[in-house]
Structure 1
Amino acid sequence: MLFAFSVAPTGGAGFEDGSVHSAVAEAVRIVEASGLDHETNSMFTTIEGDWDECMDVIKRATEAVMAVAPRVSLVVKADIRPGHDSGEIQGKVDRLNKALGK
């Protein structure tokens, strides 16, 4: 399974320039420590694993942001595809590139 999620502080978190990178870094530390395959880009962090382990990481990452903000926004999207247990973070991109003739 792949889970793409975005977690960020909202509601007066006290970031003068509007940037939330410091709080998001705490969430990404949780992801990195999890040992799950992952990828972070400017909008989402994608993790790969089974339902329970991914949801646990998302919960702990959200709690890390909650520790520094009075309100938190969480967006989660999942690709649930039985029989595809690993390598899909890159596998999906490889198949797309092949379809594009790259």
Structure 2
Amino acid sequence: MSKFGDLIDLKIPVLLDFYAEWNEQSTAMHSVLRDVAAALGDKGKVIKIDVDKNKELSSALRVKGLPTLMIYKKGEMVWRQSGEQDAKTLIGILKEYV
């Protein structure tokens, strides 16, 4: 889990996407997250986390529904939502933490 700490302990906001390839809503978010990452540039980071490959982390963070999106800044979770979101909404939320 120390690697996870390194990922989220940044001064810029980090959007985590907990997903699974077998989940239709999760795969629908791939293009949305590409758009979000492009819009943020170096002002934020988007990280995709496959729940099947990261079961311990997913369990520790109580990820139940997919996709689950979280925003961390300086190691603290500042926002969390399950379900699909559109790029405009996510970009707006992330910009609050830039």
TM-score (norm 1): 0.28
User: Which of structures 1 and 2 has the bigger CA Rg?
Assistant: 1
